[in-house]
Structure 1
Amino acid sequence: MGAGIVGLATAYRLNDAGFDVTVVDRAAPGRGASGGNGAQLSYSYVQPLADPSIWAQLPTLLFSRSSPLKLRPQLDPAQWRWALQFLAACNAETSRSTTVALLALAARSRLGFEAMMQREALACDFSATGKLVLYATAASFEKATKQLALQQSLGVQQRAVDAVECVAIEPALRHYAPHIAGAIHTPSECAADCLKTCSGLVDVLRARGVAFLLDTHIEGFERRGERLVALRTARGEVTADQFVMALGAFSPKLAGMLGAFLPVYPLKGYSITVPTDLAASDAPRVSVTDSARKVVFARVGERLRVAGMAELVGYDDAIPDDRIASLVVSTKTLFPACSSFAELNPWTGMRPATPTGLPIVGRLPRAPSNLVFNTGHGALGFTLAFGTAEGVVESLG
């Protein structure tokens, strides 16, 4: 269940493992949180959102209209429950343990993704030009160096660099150099177009005989005792021996229909994608993350993907003009000549987040015994997809 990058990576690995696979989704492949995501494959820089610094930011989260992180209380018990669990996770010990677990999972995912790419050679605008995470103040940079020390202790190859070195690594930052207090450079990081990756995987899977039921809503389930027998859809029942739920932010509703609780809630994000063909030398080749603005920049072919913000505002999929305008301003601030900005391609997506930032992979209490969950990847769905797919194969093995 699910044809985003997580579901398709899972289908790919299950097919490799000898399973006969059918993929069911209410939309076209990659059209949920995958389609316009930040395009970064952040295998070595995975600092969770749940961090002790959140406590000092609470007034801004609740009341500022321009904050890149936004919490707007709804009449939704699930939102309140998630928010309280998130705040409980905002401590140093949980942040550290989550970082350790995410780095291990990301390393596993890198191996899976690279093996798939070597085998399938998908046309997905893949690049491996590294990443710079920029910090605007000495205090934020000092904190980042502590996270750097933790990640280096776990085998990650990174280093702290100053503004001059930033420009040497990415010349397109020359206009912004006076505003950089420091940065963390990870030379091994990658980027790719996630939607093109999804489309390529569908072509590969169809050629292998994997069945797809797209534009197909799951309306309910047929359950017998401890086992799930079939999905009920408008196109009839879909039967199977084993089921995997990889429906992102929409997983909790369907899990609830089966009596299971999933601590997953959407973190709404936005992106724009601007052409850079007329100003290629002024657009970054290296992926860039502006930590202050919570905005990421990644080259995907002759386009620049700009994505950011995290809003805990429920399932509202509207795209407010001010959020897109904010991304445009951020882009013009860092890379003023990168594009004409005549074409923006605005997008929004619901990132399925757990309170800690760790995805949920495996079986759950009260759920059918032959149902495995693979959801809750937050902003790291593209990064972690092939790692959690391995976990699903192991759960069904």
Structure 2
Amino acid sequence: MKVLILGSGVIGVTSAWYLAEAGHQVEVIDRQPGSALETSFANAGEISPGYASPWAGPGMPVKALKWLFMKHSPLVVRPSFDPAQWRWILQMLRNCTLARYQVNKSRMVPIAEYSRDVLRQLRADTRIAYDERSMGTLQLFRTQKQLDGSADDVAVLKELGVPYEVLDPAGCIAAEPGLADVSNLIVGGLRLPEDETGDCHLFTQRLAAMAAQRGVSFQYETTIEAIETEGERIGAVRTSKGRLQADVYVMAMGSFSTPMAQTLGIRLPVYPVKGYSITVPITNAAKAPVSTIMDESYKVAITRLGDRIRVGGTAELSGFNRRLHPARRETLELSLRGLFPSAGNVGEASFWTGMRPMTPDGTPIVGPSRYRNLFFNTGHGTLGWTMACGSGRVMADMISGRKPDIDATELSLQRYA
């Protein structure tokens, strides 16, 4: 079959790769001049199945209220008259119960762990390189309250069979020697040894190049103008470069999937949650992180990517606003300087923002739509890099008429019906 994929971020490109591997004729279109130039460009770099947790949890409403009054808050809300923003917030609040948190996490962890395993197989088969490391993730606690609060997550990890280590300060420093100079700030940590890191942009561009060698066609600088329907099917996609037709269509446009789906009469519960990052050149490798550290105090991830440090965080609800706010950069720099003060040259850091496509329950939307030949692969939020290969493989299996290796039933849009 011919498959047309809308979007060439990491989700679109992994979908293209596995569809081509399954024997389909694949074409990918994107308005950008290349792959992974929006949300996939400078994310935090984590591949963290163990941290595949929904933001909506029992304590979130109270935490969110406190964060709104903090200078270096992990959450920023810029209210607007956009009904989609308020609808999404209300839906998220409905998921802030223990029962829904447990259900949502049980949906997220399997696709995240499966995706990590699929990525490992891809790496073994193709030798693709992307500044990858397989040295785990350390969630760092600066207060006893944070450490005590991790007990709920530990219980879920234990129930799901995810390997973990609860560390004292000495154990944290053994895992991340660069923290030795700030041992007085550390109360403890939760380490997930199976987690990985890597440059998502580099991975996506190299996988796109390999997919092109396999016959996948990439049409860049191509804007989607409209999607034509024919009864219960998609008939064509009108673009700035003409009308494109296929047997099957995959919408992998991140946050932009929502307004596009709306033109088809489909309410997609995906909202752009803006994130920020800085990328810092390493000047002292011995003082730099080995892998990823999650700074629990600021909800910031600090990741080693080759000769650079990627610092990512902040959740900002402000629609599709791309403005770079200096205050968000200050928070990222504060976290890095506090934990790795002599690791890199912050003055030479690049500053970036991207739109994470978030669902209210944290679980991505991977599966069919009410149109028989239209599939969604979007809504991965902060875990697009973590879940990309697994989501692409599941999508290829669905379209090929094969049963996916994991139960993907509850990943579909139907759960919102």
Other-structure match for 1:371: 374
Matched, 1:97 2:103: yes
Structure 2: which amino acid aligns with 1:72? R
Matches of 1:385 and 1:246, distance apart in 2: 11
Structure 2: which amino acid aligns with 1:238? L
2:356, 2:382 within 8 Å by CA — same for their partners in 1? yes
Matched, 1:295 2:300: yes
Matches of 1:88 and 1:196, distance apart in 2: 37
Matches of 2:82 and 2:253, distance apart in 1: 20
How far is the alpha carbon of 1:65 from its aligned partner? 4.7
Matched position secondary structure for 1:347: strand
Other-structure match for 2:319: 314
User: CA-to-partner distance for each residue in 1:117-141, whole Å, 9 max, x for gaps?
Assistant: 1122122101111111012221221
Other-structure match for 1:71: 77
Structure 2: which amino acid aligns with 1:352? P
Other-structure match for 2:37: 31
Matched position secondary structure for 1:44: helix
Correspondence list, 1:11-50, <5 A: 11-27=16-32, 28-50=34-56
Matched, 1:332 2:337: yes
Other-structure match for 1:268: 274
How far is the alpha carbon of 1:172 from its aligned partner? 0.5
Other-structure match for 2:284: 279
Structure 2: which amino acid aligns with 1:379? T
Matches of 2:15 and 2:121, distance apart in 1: 14
Other-structure match for 2:353: 348
How far is the alpha carbon of 1:61 from its aligned partner? 4.4
Matched, 1:256 2:259: no
Matched position secondary structure for 1:26: coil
Matches of 1:383 and 1:99, distance apart in 2: 14
How far is the alpha carbon of 1:286 from its aligned partner? 2.5
1:145, 1:160 within 8 Å by CA — same for their partners in 2? no
User: CA-to-partner distance for each residue in 1:277-302, whole Å, 9 max, x for gaps?
Assistant: x3000101121001110100111111
1:274, 1:343 within 8 Å by CA — same for their partners in 2? yes
2:292, 2:301 within 8 Å by CA — same for their partners in 1? yes
Matched position secondary structure for 1:101: helix
1:29, 1:198 within 8 Å by CA — same for their partners in 2? yes
Correspondence list, 1:1-397, <5 A: 1-27=6-32, 28-276=34-282, 278-365=283-370, 368-396=371-399, 397=401
Structure 2: which amino acid aligns with 1:128? S
User: CA-to-partner distance for each residue in 1:93-118, whole Å, 9 max, x for gaps?
Assistant: 11111112211111110121111111
How far is the alpha carbon of 1:45 from its aligned partner? 2.1
2:302, 2:312 within 8 Å by CA — same for their partners in 1? yes
Structure 2: which amino acid aligns with 1:369? R
Could you say what the CA RMSD is over the residues aligned between the two structures, in angstroms? 1.2
Moved more, 16-25 or 97-106: 97-106
User: CA-to-partner distance for each residue in 1:44-76, whole Å, 9 max, x for gaps?
Assistant: 222221111112123234444531112222110
1:275, 1:303 within 8 Å by CA — same for their partners in 2? yes
Matches of 1:68 and 1:196, distance apart in 2: 27
Moved more, 62-71 or 246-255: 62-71
Divergent runs of 4+, >6 A: none
Matches of 1:66 and 1:292, distance apart in 2: 10
Moved more, 349-358 or 339-348: 339-348
Other-structure match for 2:406: none
Matched position secondary structure for 1:260: coil
Matched position secondary structure for 2:105: helix
Structure 1: which amino acid aligns with 2:392? A
Matches of 1:136 and 1:46, distance apart in 2: 22
Structure 2: which amino acid aligns with 1:322? A
1:148, 1:159 within 8 Å by CA — same for their partners in 2? no
Matches of 1:271 and 1:62, distance apart in 2: 20
Matched position secondary structure for 1:240: coil
2:197, 2:291 within 8 Å by CA — same for their partners in 1? no
Structure 2: which amino acid aligns with 1:338? A
Structure 2: which amino acid aligns with 1:359? P
Structure 2: which amino acid aligns with 1:364? S
TM-score (norm 2): 0.92
How far is the alpha carbon of 1:387 from its aligned partner? 1.5
User: CA-to-partner distance for each residue in 1:329-360, whole Å, 9 max, x for gaps?
Assistant: 21111100001223111110000000010000
